[in-house]
Amino acid sequence: MMALALQHRVAALRDLGCMLLRESSGGLDECEEEAVLAVVLLLVLHDVCEHGVSSHGAHLDGVAFLCERKVKNVDMSHPSKASILFFIATLSWLDVLRGFSGAEKLAYPHEVRACVYDNWSFGLYMTFGCPPNIFFCIGTVIEAAKAELAGKLPSEEFIVVLRDAEKFLRNWDPQSAVFPSNEPEWAHLATAFRHACLLRIIRWPDTYTISCDDTRIRKSAEAILDACANIPKTSPCYKRMLFPLFMAGVDTSSEHQKHYVDLSIEEIKTCTGFPHYGMTALMNKVWTERKLNSRGQNNVPWMDFTCVDKNEGSQHAYLFF
Protein backbone atom coordinates (compact mmCIF):
# COMPACT_ATOMS: atom_id res chain seq x y z
CA MET A 1 0.00 0.00 0.00
CA MET A 2 2.83 2.39 0.88
CA ALA A 3 4.60 1.63 -2.40
CA LEU A 4 1.40 2.26 -4.35
CA ALA A 5 0.85 5.58 -2.59
CA LEU A 6 4.42 6.59 -3.40
CA GLN A 7 3.92 5.68 -7.06
CA HIS A 8 0.81 7.85 -7.26
CA ARG A 9 2.62 10.71 -5.54
CA VAL A 10 5.56 10.52 -7.94
CA ALA A 11 3.17 10.42 -10.91
CA ALA A 12 1.27 13.44 -9.56
CA LEU A 13 4.49 15.40 -9.07
CA ARG A 14 5.65 14.52 -12.58
CA ASP A 15 2.37 15.61 -14.16
CA LEU A 16 2.30 18.75 -12.04
CA GLY A 17 5.81 19.63 -13.15
CA CYS A 18 4.83 19.22 -16.79
CA MET A 19 1.77 21.44 -16.40
CA LEU A 20 3.74 24.15 -14.61
CA LEU A 21 6.35 24.10 -17.39
CA ARG A 22 3.57 24.60 -19.92
CA GLU A 23 2.19 27.40 -17.78
CA SER A 24 5.53 29.21 -17.78
CA SER A 25 6.02 28.84 -21.52
CA GLY A 26 2.59 29.27 -23.08
CA GLY A 27 -0.03 29.25 -20.37
CA LEU A 28 -2.75 26.78 -19.43
CA ASP A 29 -6.42 26.73 -20.24
CA GLU A 30 -8.99 27.02 -17.45
CA CYS A 31 -9.46 23.27 -17.02
CA GLU A 32 -5.72 22.74 -16.77
CA GLU A 33 -5.39 25.52 -14.20
CA GLU A 34 -8.08 23.88 -12.13
CA ALA A 35 -6.30 20.54 -12.48
CA VAL A 36 -3.06 22.09 -11.19
CA LEU A 37 -4.79 23.39 -8.06
CA ALA A 38 -6.55 20.05 -7.55
CA VAL A 39 -3.28 18.10 -7.79
CA VAL A 40 -1.54 20.48 -5.39
CA LEU A 41 -4.37 20.18 -2.88
CA LEU A 42 -4.24 16.39 -3.11
CA LEU A 43 -0.48 16.44 -2.52
CA VAL A 44 -0.94 18.69 0.50
CA LEU A 45 -3.73 16.49 1.88
CA HIS A 46 -1.47 13.48 1.38
CA ASP A 47 1.09 15.27 3.56
CA VAL A 48 -1.62 15.88 6.15
CA CYS A 49 -2.71 12.26 6.05
CA GLU A 50 0.81 10.85 6.24
CA HIS A 51 2.45 12.98 8.92
CA GLY A 52 0.94 16.46 9.05
CA VAL A 53 4.04 18.21 7.72
CA SER A 54 4.71 19.66 4.29
CA SER A 55 8.44 19.92 3.62
CA HIS A 56 9.24 23.62 3.28
CA GLY A 57 5.63 24.27 2.19
CA ALA A 58 6.67 23.84 -1.43
CA HIS A 59 3.27 22.77 -2.76
CA LEU A 60 1.40 25.71 -1.26
CA ASP A 61 4.03 28.19 -2.40
CA GLY A 62 4.16 26.82 -5.92
CA VAL A 63 0.63 27.84 -6.90
CA ALA A 64 0.27 31.08 -4.94
CA PHE A 65 0.82 33.04 -8.17
CA LEU A 66 -1.96 31.12 -9.91
CA CYS A 67 -4.45 31.67 -7.08
CA GLU A 68 -3.65 35.38 -7.06
CA ARG A 69 -4.06 35.66 -10.82
CA LYS A 70 -7.39 33.83 -10.80
CA VAL A 71 -8.99 35.99 -8.10
CA LYS A 72 -7.83 39.17 -9.85
CA ASN A 73 -8.97 38.22 -13.35
CA VAL A 74 -12.00 35.97 -12.86
CA ASP A 75 -15.41 36.64 -11.33
CA MET A 76 -15.37 34.05 -8.55
CA SER A 77 -18.95 34.80 -7.57
CA HIS A 78 -20.23 33.00 -10.67
CA PRO A 79 -21.64 29.51 -9.92
CA SER A 80 -19.47 28.00 -12.67
CA LYS A 81 -16.37 28.89 -10.62
CA ALA A 82 -17.45 26.93 -7.54
CA SER A 83 -14.86 24.16 -7.92
CA ILE A 84 -11.84 26.38 -8.52
CA LEU A 85 -13.01 28.65 -5.69
CA PHE A 86 -13.04 25.61 -3.40
CA PHE A 87 -9.43 24.80 -4.31
CA ILE A 88 -8.28 28.40 -3.85
CA ALA A 89 -10.12 28.76 -0.54
CA THR A 90 -8.77 25.51 0.88
CA LEU A 91 -5.19 26.30 -0.12
CA SER A 92 -5.57 29.80 1.29
CA TRP A 93 -6.85 28.36 4.57
CA LEU A 94 -3.85 26.06 4.86
CA ASP A 95 -1.58 28.99 4.02
CA VAL A 96 -3.03 30.99 6.92
CA LEU A 97 -2.67 28.07 9.34
CA ARG A 98 1.00 27.60 8.53
CA GLY A 99 1.43 31.35 9.00
CA PHE A 100 0.66 30.84 12.69
CA SER A 101 4.08 29.25 13.17
CA GLY A 102 5.91 31.85 11.12
CA ALA A 103 4.46 34.85 9.32
CA GLU A 104 7.22 34.65 6.71
CA LYS A 105 5.58 31.46 5.41
CA LEU A 106 2.45 33.30 4.27
CA ALA A 107 2.42 33.14 0.47
CA TYR A 108 -1.12 34.12 -0.52
CA PRO A 109 -1.84 37.86 -0.69
CA HIS A 110 -4.68 39.85 0.80
CA GLU A 111 -6.66 39.69 -2.46
CA VAL A 112 -6.96 35.91 -2.26
CA ARG A 113 -8.28 35.94 1.30
CA ALA A 114 -10.64 38.81 0.43
CA CYS A 115 -12.03 36.75 -2.44
CA VAL A 116 -12.56 33.77 -0.14
CA TYR A 117 -14.22 36.00 2.45
CA ASP A 118 -16.55 37.56 -0.13
CA ASN A 119 -17.48 34.42 -2.04
CA TRP A 120 -16.92 31.38 0.18
CA SER A 121 -18.01 32.36 3.70
CA PHE A 122 -20.40 29.46 4.04
CA GLY A 123 -17.70 27.10 2.81
CA LEU A 124 -15.30 28.29 5.52
CA TYR A 125 -17.89 27.38 8.12
CA MET A 126 -18.82 24.03 6.65
CA THR A 127 -15.33 22.84 5.75
CA PHE A 128 -13.21 24.21 8.58
CA GLY A 129 -15.62 25.59 11.16
CA CYS A 130 -13.98 29.01 11.22
CA PRO A 131 -16.12 32.16 10.97
CA PRO A 132 -15.13 34.06 7.80
CA ASN A 133 -14.48 37.36 9.56
CA ILE A 134 -12.11 35.64 12.00
CA PHE A 135 -10.31 34.00 9.07
CA PHE A 136 -9.96 37.38 7.40
CA CYS A 137 -8.86 39.08 10.63
CA ILE A 138 -6.06 36.66 11.47
CA GLY A 139 -4.92 36.60 7.84
CA THR A 140 -4.54 40.38 7.96
CA VAL A 141 -2.52 40.13 11.18
CA ILE A 142 -0.18 37.47 9.79
CA GLU A 143 0.33 39.52 6.62
CA ALA A 144 1.22 42.54 8.77
CA ALA A 145 3.62 40.40 10.81
CA LYS A 146 5.30 39.27 7.61
CA ALA A 147 5.63 42.88 6.44
CA GLU A 148 7.08 43.89 9.81
CA LEU A 149 9.64 41.08 9.65
CA ALA A 150 10.66 42.20 6.17
CA GLY A 151 11.06 45.79 7.33
CA LYS A 152 8.15 46.97 5.19
CA LEU A 153 5.92 47.89 8.13
CA PRO A 154 7.13 49.94 11.11
CA SER A 155 6.89 48.13 14.44
CA GLU A 156 4.65 50.88 15.80
CA GLU A 157 2.13 50.28 13.02
CA PHE A 158 2.27 46.54 13.58
CA ILE A 159 1.41 47.08 17.25
CA VAL A 160 -1.65 49.04 16.13
CA VAL A 161 -2.70 46.14 13.87
CA LEU A 162 -2.33 43.73 16.79
CA ARG A 163 -4.28 45.98 19.13
CA ASP A 164 -7.12 46.45 16.66
CA ALA A 165 -7.32 42.72 15.92
CA GLU A 166 -7.37 41.80 19.60
CA LYS A 167 -10.11 44.34 20.24
CA PHE A 168 -12.16 42.97 17.33
CA LEU A 169 -11.83 39.37 18.49
CA ARG A 170 -12.63 40.16 22.12
CA ASN A 171 -15.74 42.07 21.09
CA TRP A 172 -16.89 39.52 18.52
CA ASP A 173 -20.09 37.87 19.71
CA PRO A 174 -20.76 34.38 18.31
CA GLN A 175 -24.42 34.73 19.24
CA SER A 176 -24.79 37.49 16.66
CA ALA A 177 -23.27 35.42 13.85
CA VAL A 178 -25.18 33.53 11.18
CA PHE A 179 -24.17 29.86 11.28
CA PRO A 180 -24.91 27.01 8.85
CA SER A 181 -27.58 25.67 11.22
CA ASN A 182 -29.16 26.35 14.60
CA GLU A 183 -27.12 23.71 16.43
CA PRO A 184 -25.26 25.35 19.35
CA GLU A 185 -22.05 23.51 18.44
CA TRP A 186 -21.30 26.08 15.73
CA ALA A 187 -21.13 28.89 18.28
CA HIS A 188 -18.83 26.82 20.51
CA LEU A 189 -16.58 26.04 17.55
CA ALA A 190 -16.49 29.71 16.56
CA THR A 191 -15.53 30.62 20.12
CA ALA A 192 -12.68 28.11 19.98
CA PHE A 193 -11.30 29.60 16.76
CA ARG A 194 -11.67 33.11 18.16
CA HIS A 195 -9.54 32.23 21.17
CA ALA A 196 -7.03 30.26 19.09
CA CYS A 197 -6.43 33.44 17.10
CA LEU A 198 -6.22 35.49 20.29
CA LEU A 199 -3.54 33.16 21.62
CA ARG A 200 -1.43 33.82 18.54
CA ILE A 201 -2.03 37.57 18.50
CA ILE A 202 -1.10 37.94 22.18
CA ARG A 203 2.26 36.26 21.48
CA TRP A 204 3.33 38.98 19.04
CA PRO A 205 5.63 40.84 18.80
CA ASP A 206 7.89 38.92 21.22
CA THR A 207 6.94 35.26 21.63
CA TYR A 208 9.24 34.78 24.64
CA THR A 209 7.85 37.52 26.87
CA ILE A 210 4.46 36.33 28.12
CA SER A 211 4.15 33.27 30.33
CA CYS A 212 1.44 30.64 29.98
CA ASP A 213 0.31 31.75 33.43
CA ASP A 214 -0.63 35.18 32.10
CA THR A 215 -4.34 35.78 32.66
CA ARG A 216 -5.08 36.43 28.99
CA ILE A 217 -3.36 33.21 27.91
CA ARG A 218 -5.05 31.11 30.57
CA LYS A 219 -8.51 32.48 29.81
CA SER A 220 -8.21 31.79 26.09
CA ALA A 221 -6.88 28.26 26.65
CA GLU A 222 -9.71 27.57 29.10
CA ALA A 223 -12.29 28.99 26.69
CA ILE A 224 -11.12 26.58 23.97
CA LEU A 225 -11.32 23.60 26.30
CA ASP A 226 -14.75 24.66 27.56
CA ALA A 227 -15.94 24.97 23.96
CA CYS A 228 -14.65 21.48 23.21
CA ALA A 229 -16.41 20.07 26.28
CA ASN A 230 -19.69 21.55 25.04
CA ILE A 231 -19.50 19.87 21.62
CA PRO A 232 -20.72 16.26 21.50
CA LYS A 233 -18.13 13.87 20.12
CA THR A 234 -20.70 12.66 17.60
CA SER A 235 -21.06 16.17 16.15
CA PRO A 236 -19.29 17.00 12.87
CA CYS A 237 -18.02 20.12 14.65
CA TYR A 238 -15.96 18.06 17.08
CA LYS A 239 -13.29 17.01 14.58
CA ARG A 240 -12.96 20.64 13.48
CA MET A 241 -11.66 21.41 16.97
CA LEU A 242 -8.22 20.01 16.11
CA PHE A 243 -6.41 23.29 15.51
CA PRO A 244 -7.94 25.21 18.46
CA LEU A 245 -7.12 22.25 20.73
CA PHE A 246 -3.54 22.29 19.52
CA MET A 247 -3.29 26.02 20.21
CA ALA A 248 -4.66 25.52 23.72
CA GLY A 249 -2.33 22.58 24.30
CA VAL A 250 0.88 24.39 23.40
CA ASP A 251 -0.12 27.41 25.48
CA THR A 252 -0.95 25.74 28.77
CA SER A 253 1.27 24.54 31.59
CA SER A 254 -1.60 22.85 33.42
CA GLU A 255 -1.19 19.08 33.59
CA HIS A 256 -4.90 18.32 33.63
CA GLN A 257 -5.49 20.64 30.67
CA LYS A 258 -2.69 18.97 28.71
CA HIS A 259 -4.23 15.61 29.52
CA TYR A 260 -7.64 16.77 28.30
CA VAL A 261 -6.12 18.15 25.09
CA ASP A 262 -4.29 14.88 24.52
CA LEU A 263 -7.44 12.80 25.00
CA SER A 264 -9.53 15.06 22.77
CA ILE A 265 -6.99 15.09 19.95
CA GLU A 266 -6.70 11.31 20.12
CA GLU A 267 -10.48 11.15 19.73
CA ILE A 268 -10.27 13.33 16.62
CA LYS A 269 -7.44 11.22 15.20
CA THR A 270 -9.57 8.12 15.61
CA CYS A 271 -12.54 9.84 14.01
CA THR A 272 -10.69 11.20 10.97
CA GLY A 273 -8.08 8.48 10.52
CA PHE A 274 -5.34 11.12 10.24
CA PRO A 275 -2.48 10.34 12.69
CA HIS A 276 -1.07 13.90 12.74
CA TYR A 277 2.37 12.68 13.79
CA GLY A 278 3.99 16.05 13.18
CA MET A 279 1.52 17.94 15.34
CA THR A 280 1.75 15.42 18.16
CA ALA A 281 5.55 15.44 18.13
CA LEU A 282 5.54 19.24 18.11
CA MET A 283 3.22 19.43 21.09
CA ASN A 284 5.27 16.91 23.07
CA LYS A 285 8.49 18.83 22.37
CA VAL A 286 6.91 22.01 23.72
CA TRP A 287 5.64 20.27 26.84
CA THR A 288 9.03 18.66 27.51
CA GLU A 289 10.97 21.89 27.06
CA ARG A 290 8.49 23.84 29.16
CA LYS A 291 9.16 21.49 32.07
CA LEU A 292 12.92 21.76 31.62
CA ASN A 293 12.96 25.47 30.75
CA SER A 294 16.58 25.04 29.73
CA ARG A 295 16.76 28.59 28.37
CA GLY A 296 15.25 30.22 31.45
CA GLN A 297 12.68 32.20 29.46
CA ASN A 298 9.15 33.22 30.38
CA ASN A 299 7.70 31.22 27.51
CA VAL A 300 8.59 28.30 25.28
CA PRO A 301 7.11 29.21 21.87
CA TRP A 302 5.89 26.23 19.89
CA MET A 303 6.95 28.10 16.76
CA ASP A 304 10.60 27.48 17.65
CA PHE A 305 10.16 23.76 17.05
CA THR A 306 9.02 24.10 13.44
CA CYS A 307 12.52 25.03 12.24
CA VAL A 308 14.37 22.52 10.08
CA ASP A 309 17.68 24.35 10.16
CA LYS A 310 18.04 26.79 13.05
CA ASN A 311 20.97 28.51 11.37
CA GLU A 312 19.12 29.18 8.14
CA GLY A 313 15.67 29.52 9.67
CA SER A 314 14.30 27.01 7.16
CA GLN A 315 10.91 25.74 8.25
CA HIS A 316 8.39 23.07 7.44
CA ALA A 317 4.70 23.88 7.11
CA TYR A 318 2.73 22.15 9.85
CA LEU A 319 -0.72 21.41 8.53
CA PHE A 320 -4.04 20.83 10.26
CA PHE A 321 -7.17 19.68 8.47
Co-location of 115 and 133 in the same domain: no
Taking Cα atoms as reference points, which of 13, 112, 115, 100 lies closest to residue 64?
Answer: 112
Query: pLDDT digits over 285-297, tens only?
Result: 999 999 888 888 8
8 A C-beta contact, residue 91 and residue 40: yes
Same domain, 212 and 285: yes
What is the tally of structural domains in the chain?
Answer: 2
Do 278 and 159 belong together in one domain?
Answer: yes
Q: Residue range 208-229: average pLDDT?
A: 96
Same domain, 62 and 160: no
Q: Identify the sign of the CA torsion 120, 140, 274, 43.
A: positive
Pair 106, 143 in one domain: no
Q: Collapse the DSSP code of 310 into the 3-class scheme (helix H, G, I; strand E, B; otherwise coil) and give the result.
A: coil
Last residue of a domain, one of 91, 119, 147: 119
The pLDDT score that the predictor gives to residue 129 is 92
311 occurs within a structural domain: no
Over residues 91-107, mean pLDDT: 92
Residue 318 lies in a domain: no
3-state secondary structure of 240: helix
Q: Is residue 298 part of a domain?
A: no
Same domain for 115 and 34, yes or no, is: yes
Range of the domain at 46: 29-119
pLDDT of 54 over the 70 cut: no
- Are 283 and 162 in the same domain? yes
Question: Has residue 55 been placed in a domain?
Answer: yes
- The fraction of the chain above a pLDDT of 70, given in percent, is 87
Q: Which letter does DSSP use for residue 39 in this model?
A: H
